Structure 1
Amino acid sequence: MSVRAPELDRGEWIAGGPHLLRELRPRAVLLDFFTFGCINCMNNLPMLIRLQARYGDTLQVIGVHSGKFAHEKDAEAIRAAVARLGISYPVLNDPEGALVDQYAVKAWPTMVLVNAEGYIAATFRGEAQGVAIDLALRKLGLLPRECAAESPALPGPLRFPEAVLVRCEQTFIANSGGGDVREYNAAGQLVRRFTPFRTPAALALSEGMLYIADRAGGSVCRIDLRTEERTVLFEQLRSPSALLVEEKTITIAEAGAHTVTVYDKETLQPLQTFGNRFEALRDGAGEAAQLAQPMGLTRCDDGTLWFVDAESSALRSIENGHVQTAVGEGLFIWGDSDSDPILLQHPQGIACGRIGDGCGGGRLFIADTYNGKLKVYDPQSGRMMTLMADLNEPAGLCKQGCSLYIAESGAHRVIRYDLSAMSFETYIA
């Protein structure tokens, strides 16, 4: 029995609208129910953009954004995300979930194919559905067309930077929206660019080697800064979003796999994995634990490894092979509170203060991304404090002495926060 697709008459058009299904005939319509903070949704976007380009006027892809977090329901935040993610097709904001209910969507991402007569032809859930969707489109009689090659991105101002790394007179920035990693000198002048990357998301520096995690590319590479020789260390990762390179190990947080894995630095063999690949908030040893989109890593002087889980809005630690939650209540509990209980909203960055470096030794600095705040947490007392508000999606952090560098992704800049003076300035934009 065929089911007529509910009309797109709810919510607010963010880009490219308004559209009604009946007005799009005889085109087929592919509805992508997504939210911009969902890593699996992000992974689907290149496939959807390719489908729109391949099938041209015979197919219309439409994004239906149904936010989970409060920040994801804000129209301006969605507009910024559409630009950051390179979405070229129309997007409809469904903040109350009216269309989600009408289409019986139960998970992100879900794609619904509507045929030229306005009836639901197929439903696809999760990632890696490109082949199945392509077959369904051909079954409807749609034929792909040849597509022109994309023009390479040109250098310009920063665009949605996600990570910053400062060492002595060198500054490295993962310019995610521009698909490159940039090196600046002490005067803030651009020295060189490393390309191409799809979405460079994390950086690490060790023994003259720059390590780069390409989230959308699913890889981690190493660049010799002297010779610029590039070596791919890991491939086919699921959205690597955080890196920690130490004397003998490389630790990678795979946001799409909901895991943190420690590798031997020489052999690149896995030594231990934390998380069983199911998205949830559960403490435990090794793979008995459950994580939820880890997107930041740091190690404190006492040896404890700390990370933030974006989807569970949690601050967690790994010590003696055991994952433990310091802040966080679950996948659907979040907020903005520094006490009773402490609540975060989709944090993405973390840095630990070093004992004796002048400011904040032993404290954890947190980019509370969807609350737009910089916060500091004391593991000894369990106290949280807000240092800075009104930021536009702060992401990666780097601490050097009394300077805290923040990749303010939504503002397309890196700022330097002076912990001694409690003031900030634009560092690189």
Structure 2
Amino acid sequence: MSTEQHTPRRARVRAPEPTGRAWLNTGGEQLRLADLRGKIVLLDFWAFCCINCLHVLDELRPLEREFAEELVTIGVHSPKFEHEADADALAAAVERYEVGHPVLDDPELATWRDYAVKAWPTLVLVDPEGYVVHEAAGEGHAEALRRIITDLVAEHDARGTLHRGSGPRVVEEKPDTTLRYPSKVLGLEGGTMLVADSARHSLVEFAADGETPLRRIGNGSRGAADGDPDAASFREPGGMTLLPEHVAAKVGYDVVVADTVNHLLRGVRLADGAVSTVAGTGRQWRDEEHTGPALSTALTSPWDVAWWERAGGVVIAMAGNHTLGLFDPLEGAVSRFGGTTVEGLRDGPLDEAFFAQTSGLAVDRGEPESEGDDRLWLVDSETSALRWVRPTSDGFEVRTAVGKGLFDFGHADGPAPEALLQHPLGVAVLPDGTVAICDTYNGAIRRYEPDSDAVSTLATEVAEPSGAITAEGELVVVAGAAHRLERPVPPGVTARLVEGASQRVARPATEIGPGEVELVVVFDPPPGQKLDERYGPSTRLEVSSSPEGMLVSGAGSGTGLSRRLVLGDGFEHGVLHVVAQAASCDDDSGVEHPACRLTRQDWGVPVRVTPDGADRLPLVMGGLDAQ
């Protein structure tokens, strides 16, 4: 299929010039699309809070290498949280995630609005003549982009409108510090501490002072090699947990590490620092079965891990698909523990709950004989929520202590139902049974008191706290953006109330009309592919709303990618939650088993109901909206 057939001329639209506050990775130069004529330009609308956006950064790296002379990638940073609109925080994120292409800082979402973007991440492809030829929301589009770019290269090479040569790129060198954007910390026997040195792709063991490095595990390069400490490699390691001694003795390793970007769990033997892969395939989960042998079951961005005896193994915060996993090291098996893969905030039975990028875990074992106090605390970063899981008579349930939903955040103390956090990444249970929260994007350490059901602030001005432990009665915090461990809470300090305010995401709401609205998910298979109808419908669409009563009809699941929605009376604002997926295969009639791919995207679309609002809501999963 040619590019002309895939993107009809009637749909050709001149790409607007990106506008924002400043440019990064350009040496201070401002880029204009007009100056990039002759190049294929890929605009990546992202936010550094978003795990799907981080996946896309890694998906694009091979494309950027393959088409180094024809393609220019521009990251358009479109913040969700207030902290992400801070210029220094963005610069730190660009370094932390090794973003090598130019990045436009667009805190006011001007370019987002110009391109009518509705989801993080969104990719927009611009041809060498400056026209938009393809749009795709979500992740997993690398192969489709490769095919479209290949067609564009051939077409514009033949027409003489393609200019080869290296594109704009200036990357500053990293300062020399022992740690670089550490993420989590684990207390070891004897008082030493193991730190996940995320941007240096290794683990560092420190003495009890938290400042003296004793050894480094991992060679510092991106990779997934097993072996001794100097040969082993990680990719942005995250949370760690100690196994009970009797379990460690049987499996041959003491610590389980969430190797986040590798989509693996790694085992570390503390006696000699040897590293082994214990779960995952190295391939990101794409709707495969969640239960099976550990080394043949795919994971997706495991962010933290915690041994919980009550669950029977290591609970995995599977940030990449908004679920909790369970790893049994003795059986060598992985299973789904909780969640449905829908991103949101819903309590109830664990297998029906919604999670939103769970990023921190901590077990409160309570009193040995008290079943009710044995619970797992967790923080869901995208809903700015503190939640807990506890056993019931017939399984497990999840409840929310702090948090309102995907679009509400802030820094407010007081009764838990009114308290607000901003993208927390870590949690720790304190000796008195209260819970310390690494309130990452507020740069604060917060405390939740279960007895009073209230939230207070223990410390502020901590540079992106992301993990914490208690050591000899003190709280030791990973200050990620300061590249060190800190003790920001003096022993015995009295919590002080910090005045704060609630905030909502600045993302513009989509105006829709009252009554009936046509929801359309746009998906065109990439060149050389067709929808896979061999075993039934190839598409699926699931729709819900917040508040739940906003939709009179149209909620639920179905096979088509369009849906008639009927809005209830009396609703002025809300969020439409849309999950769509489509299966497509190579259009090779002579091949018995063609290569197939599943494309999936979740949207949380803030909407405002107005008399003059649109009666059609298009969401582009891949292709172009022809209307």
**TM-score normalised by structure 1 residue count:** 0.91
SS of the residue 1:53 aligns to: helix
Letter in structure 2 aligned against 1:352: V
Residue identity matched to 1:5: A
State whether residues 263 and 299 of structure 2, in contact with CA within 8 Å, keep that contact through their aligned partners in structure 1: yes
SS in 1 for 2:143: helix
Partner of 2:203: 181
Match of 1:256 among 302, 314, 320: 320
Aligned-residue CA RMSD (Å): 2.2
Task: Please give the residue correspondences for 1:210-221 in structure 2 after superposition, counting only pairs within 5 Å.
Answer: 210-221=255-266
C-alpha offsets along residues 335-379 of structure 1, whole Å, 9 cap, x if unaligned? 10012610000000000023xxxxxx1000000000000011101
- Secondary structure at 2:69's aligned position in 1? helix
Give 2:338's match in structure 1, choosing from 256, 268, 274: 274
How far apart in 2 are the matches of 1:10 and 1:421? 46
CA contact (8 A) 2:70 2:153 kept: no
Shift of 1:18: 1.0
Matched, 1:324 2:399: yes
Q: Is the 8 A contact 2:239 2:257 kept in 1?
A: yes
Number of aligned positions between the proteins? 411
Deviations 1:46-82 (CA, angstroms, capped at 9, x unpaired): 2223322332232110000100111111111111111
**SS state at 2:305 partner:** strand
Match of 1:15 among 22, 25, 29: 25
Question: Structure 1 residues 25 and 272, CA, compared in 2 at 3 Å: closer, same or farther?
Answer: closer
Deviation at 1:154, TM superposition (A): 12
Q: Are positions 1:202 and 2:239 aligned together?
A: yes
**Aligned equivalents of 1:224, 1:421: Cα separation in 2:** 36
Q: What is the deviation of 1:243?
A: 0.6
Check whether the contact 1:263–1:272 (CA below 8 A) recurs between aligned residues.
no
Give 1:166's aligned residue. 187
Other structure's SS at 1:212 match: strand
Letter in 2 for 1:219: L
Within a 5 Å distance, the mapping from 1:120-199 to structure 2 comes to: 120-141=132-153, 157-167=178-188, 168-186=190-208, 188-195=211-218, 196-199=233-236
| Letter paired with 1:166 | G
Match of 1:379 in 2: 450
1:80 aligns with 2:155: no
Q: Distance in 1 between matches of 2:176 and 2:268?
A: 20
Contact 1:296 1:348 in 2 (8 A): yes
Equivalence for 1:108: 120
Moved more, 40-49 or 195-204: 40-49
Tell me the equivalent position of 1:344.
421
Partner of 1:150: none
Secondary structure of the 2:153 match is coil
- Report whether the alignment pairs 1:6 with 2:27: no
**SS at 2:361 equivalent:** strand
Moved more, 368-377 or 333-342: 333-342
Tell whether the 8 Å contact from 2:308 to 2:363 is kept in structure 1 after alignment. no
Of the structure 1 ranges 105-114 and 245-254, higher mean CA displacement relative to structure 2 is found in 245-254
Q: What is the aligned counterpart of 2:430 among 353, 361, 373? A: 353
> Does the residue aligned with 1:37 lie in a helix, a strand or coil?
coil
Q: Is the contact between residue 30 and residue 62 of structure 1 (CA under 8 Å) also seen in structure 2? A: yes
Deviation sequence 1:289-323 (CA, Å, 0-9, x none): 10000001111122111100000000101112111
Structure 1 residues 169 and 68: alpha-carbon distance in aligned structure 2, compared to 1, 3 A threshold: same
Give the aligned partner of residue 307 of structure 2. 245
C-alpha deviation, 1:13, in angstroms = 2.0
Corresponding letter in the other structure for 1:252: I
2:408 corresponds to which residue? 333
| Whole-angstrom distance in 2 between the partners of 1:256 and 1:172 | 24
CA deviation after TM superposition for structure 1 residue 192, in Å: 2.1
Code of the aligned partner of 1:279: E
Does structure 2 retain, via aligned residues, the 8 Å contact 1:14–1:90?
yes
The alpha-carbon deviation at position 260 of structure 1 amounts to: 1.3
Assess if the C-alpha contact under 8 Å between 2:325 and 2:338 holds in 1: yes
Instruction: Give the deviation of 1:176 after TM superposition.
Output: 0.3
Q: Check conservation: 1:15, 1:92, Cα contact below 8 A.
A: no
Moved more, 247-256 or 215-224: 247-256
- Is the 8 Å Cα contact of residues 402 and 418 (structure 1) preserved in structure 2? no
Q: Aligned AA for 2:403?
A: G
The Cα of 1:100 is off from its aligned counterpart by 1.2
| Partner SS state of residue 337, structure 1 | coil
Amino acid at match of 1:181: L
Partners of 1:413 and 1:281 in 2: CA distance? 32
Greater mean deviation of Cα atoms: 199-208 or 175-184: 199-208
> Quick one: percent identity of the two aligned structures?
37
Matching of residue 287 in structure 1 with residue 343 in structure 2: no
Report the AA paired with residue 337 of structure 1: A
Q: Tell me, which stretches of 5 or more residues in structure 1 are unaligned?
A: 146-152, 355-360, 424-429
Deviation at 1:220, TM superposition (A): 0.6
**Is the Cα–Cα contact under 8 Å of residues 20 and 107 in structure 2 kept in the other structure?**
no
SS of residue matched to 1:399: strand
Between 98-107 and 305-314, the greater mean CA deviation after superposition? 98-107
Q: CA deviation at 1:263?
A: 3.3
CA contact (8 A) 1:245 1:251 kept: yes
Among residues 376, 384, 394, which one is paired with 1:313 in the alignment?
384
Q: Distance in 2 between matches of 1:183 and 1:10?
A: 42
Change in Cα spacing, 1:228 to 1:411, as seen in structure 2 (3 Å) is closer
Of stretches 270-279 and 318-327 in structure 1, the one that deviates more from structure 2 is 270-279
Aligned pair 1:44/2:56, yes or no?
A: yes
- Kept in 1, the 8 Å contact 2:323–2:336? The answer is no
Aligned 8 A contact 1:294 1:309 in 2? yes
Q: CA deviation at 1:130?
A: 1.2
Gaps (5+ residues) in structure 2?
Answer: 1-9, 158-163, 166-173, 219-232, 249-253, 281-297, 367-372, 495-627
Q: 1:379 and 1:68 mapped to 2: Cα distance?
A: 30
- 2:183 aligns to what SS in structure 1? strand
Q: 1:225 aligns with which of 240, 247, 270?
A: 270
1:303 to 374, 381, 384: 374
Amino acid at match of 1:201: G
Q: Matched residues in 2 for 1:123 and 1:410: separation?
A: 33
Higher-Rg structure is 2
- Give the AA of the match of 1:212: V
3-state SS in 1 of match to 2:57:
helix
Q: Aligned-pair distance for 1:29?
A: 0.4
Task: Find the partner of 1:57 among 59, 66, 69.
Answer: 69
Aligned amino acid, residue 316 of structure 1: R
SS where residue 306 of structure 2 aligns? Answer: strand
AA partner of residue 7 (structure 1): E
Once residues 268 and 78 of structure 1 are traced to their aligned partners in structure 2, the CA distance between those partners, rounded to angstroms, is 40
Indicate the residue corresponding to 2:484 in structure 1: 413
3-state SS in 1 of match to 2:146 = helix
